[in-house]
């Protein structure tokens, strides 16, 4: 994309709306402003909710087949403009361009098509009581106006994961994307217009979470909030929405463990866990940041893991074809990750690769970008900051364990419970651990294989509620029982 500064606009009631105040959005690979994002407030939010309420009167009465047709058209248009969306996502977020092309944008297309398809096969429950002449059946109705708040790490991917089921089930939406990564959400609005989505069905209001996000979460006419982001923000949403009894879906942080037993296939395990640790610069809630390795294979695992990390994880400009990790999202976030590494030094960690003093081979235009090398730590106690807190960067900790019972206890001893992976050829062991892990998803001898029919979410401080075919339907609809006396 060219170097001119883009000006993002809010999208309300089917129209783009100019703003007077803006937030500067930085290209994380250069440290320079490349986008101006609206700094919206109460006026814009009120207009957006009002438009969504009006749009709901029409959209909620549109048949699932017709709603699906529009979702299919939206997905087709995105797919036809895949390269344009991928370029924008990579530049805005910092992720390698190949990743935006092969993961982020295709997944956005899949999200829309999946829920457009599944909504057409929804079923209701019917029970007949012939002895008293009664027919009971259920009706699922859309919730109403839904607020969607999405993070900066997978902008279009996660926005469409929430938008698609909300729209498929007849709701209208006011969305608040991250102010750090607003471009593809803004681009999506032009796709809505081209696809014929009625005015008011989706409204996009850009700005800070502390203003726009709060206004959206506590607006009395917004019936549900679907949020993905930090645990701190999720807790805040839970607090401010409590008086309104809103439906909440909160997918929050993770401190995800991998458990590698001595019988694991290391040739498959090590490359997968390198990817699990450093994909998207480690800025994925599902990334692995604690790796427990059985002591008998610990030294072999560590030696090969570090060698392959140094060999494969090239840090560089997002547009370069051989780049595996781009920059972190912002200077502030980079400093946060660096502070964790400083704490790790004080706690006596051994840096097996990476760290604070690595000189990166970057092009001149990227010298002021927010880059950190892939870092592998060991010799940290379980209660250290880097083993307990979500770093959300390219940092993973490798430590040994001895017994199955011990490692289950240690892996569960964090406030989070999003996901885990278990590596072993012993099927009975895998079964036992899958039952014992206090997480929403357990991958066994693999990582990050997702089926959209399966429920996705976390437990403990990783979230409330689940998403997926049935789980999303339950969240975005209200169930009603109808009892009819037939004779």
Catalytic residue among 44, 89, 179, 251: 251
CB-CB contact of 11 with 17 (8 Å): yes
Has 4 been annotated as catalytic? no
- 3-class SS shares of the chain: helix, strand, coil, % to 5: 45, 25, 35
Quick one: which of 238, 157, 142 has its CA closest to 452? 157
Cα separations (Å) of 128 from 131, 241, 337, 483, 486? 9, 39, 60, 10, 10
Burial class (CB in 10 A: 0-12, 13-18, 19+), 264: buried
Q: Is the dihedral of CA 297, 301, 302, 304 positive or negative?
A: positive
Q: Tokens at residue 158, please?
A: 């996660």
Residue with tokens 């800025």: 283
Residue with tokens 């850009």: 206
Distance CA 420, CA 308 (A): 22
Residue with tokens 């549109």: 62
CB-CB contact of 277 with 421 (8 Å): no
Q: Given the DSSP bridges, would you call strands 256-260 and 172-176 parallel, antiparallel or unpaired?
A: unpaired
Length in residues, the chain: 487
Quick one: which of 155, 427, 35, 447 has its CA closest to 272? 447
Has 83 been annotated as catalytic? no
DSSP letter assigned to residue 199: T
CB-CB contact of 12 with 48 (8 Å): yes
CB-CB contact of 362 with 369 (8 Å): yes
CB-CB contact of 281 with 289 (8 Å): no
Catalytic residue among 189, 269, 285, 287: 285
Quick one: which of 284, 260, 305 has its CA closest to 391? 284
* Residue 335 burial (CB count, 10 A): 11
Q: Say which residues have a Cβ less than 8 Å from residue 308's Cβ, sequence separation at least 6.
A: 270, 271, 274
Task: Provide the strand spans (E) within 4-120.
Answer: 6-7, 10-12, 15-17, 22-27, 32-38
CB-CB contact of 163 with 134 (8 Å): no
Round the CA-based radius of gyration of the chain to a whole number and report it: 23
Distance CA 125, CA 254 (A): 36
Catalytic residues: 251, 285
């Amino acid at each position: 994309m060219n170097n001119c500064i883009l000006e993002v606009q809010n999208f309300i009631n089917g129209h783009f709306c100019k703003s007077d105040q803006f937030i500067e959005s930085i290209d994380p690979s250069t440290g320079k402003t490349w986008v101006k994002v609206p700094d919206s407030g109460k006026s814009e939010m009120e207009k957006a909710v009002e438009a969504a309420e009006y749009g709901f009167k029409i959209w909620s009465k549109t048949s699932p087949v017709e709603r699906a047709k529009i979702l299919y058209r939206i997905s087709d248009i995105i797919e036809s403009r895949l390269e344009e969306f991928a370029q924008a996502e990579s530049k805005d977020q910092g992720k390698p361009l190949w990743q935006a092309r092969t993961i982020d944008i295709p997944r956005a297309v899949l999200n829309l098509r999946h829920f457009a398809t599944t909504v057409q096969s929804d079923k209701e429950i019917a029970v007949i009581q012939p002895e008293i002449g009664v027919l009971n059946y259920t009706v699922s109705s859309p919730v109403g106006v839904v607020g969607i708040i999405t993070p900066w790490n997978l902008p279009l991917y996660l926005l469409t994961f929430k938008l698609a089921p909300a729209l498929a089930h007849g709701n209208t939406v006011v969305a608040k994307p991250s102010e750090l990564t607003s471009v593809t959400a803004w681009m999506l609005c032009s796709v809505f217009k081209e696809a014929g989505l009625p005015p008011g069905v989706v409204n996009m209001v850009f700005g800070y979470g502390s203003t726009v996000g709060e206004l959206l979460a506590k607006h009395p006419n917004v019936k549900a909030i679907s949020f993905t982001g930090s645990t701190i923000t999720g807790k805040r949403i839970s607090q401010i929405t409590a008086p309104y009894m809103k439906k909440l879906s909160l997918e929050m942080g993770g401190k995800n463990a991998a458990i590698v037993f001595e019988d694991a296939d290391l040739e498959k395990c090590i490359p997968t866990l390198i990817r699990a640790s450093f994909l998207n610069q480690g800025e994925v809630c599902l990334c692995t940041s604690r790796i427990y390795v059985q002591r008998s294979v610990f030294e072999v695992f560590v030696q090969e893991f570090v060698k392959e990390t140094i060999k494969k994880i090239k840090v560089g400009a997002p547009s370069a074809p051989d780049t595996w990790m781009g920059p972190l999202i912002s200077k502030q976030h980079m400093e946060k990750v660096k502070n964790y590494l400083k704490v790790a030094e004080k706690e006596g960690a051994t840096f097996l690769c990476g760290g604070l003093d690595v000189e990166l081979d970057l092009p001149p235009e990227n010298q002021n970008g927010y880059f950190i090398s892939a870092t592998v730590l060991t010799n940290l106690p379980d209660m250290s900051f880097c083993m307990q807190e979500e770093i959300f960067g390219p940092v993973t900790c490798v430590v040994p364990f001895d017994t199955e019972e011990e490692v289950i206890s240690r892996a569960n001893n964090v406030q989070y419970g999003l996901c885990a992976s278990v590596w072993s050829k012993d099927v009975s062991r895998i079964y036992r651990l899958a039952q014992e892990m206090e997480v929403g998803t357990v991958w066994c001898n693999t990582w990050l294989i997702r089926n959209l029919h399966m429920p996705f979410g976390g437990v403990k401080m990783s979230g409330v509620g689940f998403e997926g075919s049935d789980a999303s339907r339950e969240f975005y609809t209200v169930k009603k029982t109808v009892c009819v006396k037939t004779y």
